[in-house]
A and B are shown apart, each in its own frame.
Chain A
Amino acid sequence: MIVQYENIIIKTISRILIPFIQIYALYVIMHGHYSPGGGFQGGVILGASFILLVLAFGAEASQKRISLKKLTVLASLGLLIFSGIGLVALLMGGNYLDYGKLPLPLESIPKIRAMGILGIEIGVGIGVMAIMITIFLAIASYETEGKND
């Protein structure tokens, strides 16, 4: 399915569109405290921008930016950030995922909790982005034995 497709319209439009999609996805992740959105939705949009990159330029040409090895590391990193923040709270004397105990240089508990929420949103965003691209690349690179009719 993913072959090098010489279509200048698709390539140019994707080249223009992808940065805006990524900026919007980062906005959705970072602005989840004040508006609808959050790590999951932003991660899916960020993953969709990379899927558009693969669709427009082919899996071989975009291998430099996204490869399955890097994506596996990123997916694990996202979940590690999430559970790591919970573990830090546990080590600082609170309950698991109790952000009030995080060692951050902020003056009040609510601000520290807001930063903890932002941290896990970033973790979820990275993980979901990597998983979405991984599933797409896994399906698209699957070899069927001549059953394409």
Chain B
Amino acid sequence: MIWSLDFILLIFVVVCAIAAITVKDLLSAVIILAAYSFFMALLWAAMGAVDVAFTEASVGAGASTVFFIAAVFKTTRRAKG
């Protein structure tokens, strides 16, 4: 586990998390959430938990993104307020 790589990944995770809750366009929020999942998977892999990283990459960045996009297309694309 390299200290500087971990630090950069953590910064990306925090930036993605804050961006996902502040952006008004819900489709963009879903894509940013997928990016968050992917950075999280990289972080898990850097910590040596390869199985968890695999699950995070396939479920968080793959399947749940598709579900969210389907739900956004069925409801509305703009966040209220």
Where the two chains meet, the residues of B that have a C-beta atom closer than 8 Å to any C-beta of A are: 50-51, 53-55, 58-59, 62-63, 66-67, 70-71, 73-78
- Residues of A40-71 whose CB lies within 8 A of B: 40-41, 44-45, 47-48, 51
A24 to chain B, nearest CB (A): 11
Nearest chain B residue, comparing its CB with the CB of A47: B63
Given A36-B50, A147-B76, is A1 in contact with B70 using a C-beta cutoff of 8 Å?
yes
Q: How far is the CA of A135 from the CA of B59 in the complex (A)?
A: 13
Contact partners of A142 in chain B: CB under 8 A: 74
Among A37, A41, A47, A144, the one with the most B-chain Cβ atoms within 10 Å of its Cβ is A41
Across-interface contacts of B63 in A (CB, < 8 A) = 44, 47-48, 51, 132
A27 within 8 A of B: no
In the complex formed, the residue of B with least CB distance to A32 is: B51
B74 touches A1 (CB 8 A): yes
A147-B58 CB under 8 A given contacts A44-B63, A48-B66, A135-B67: no
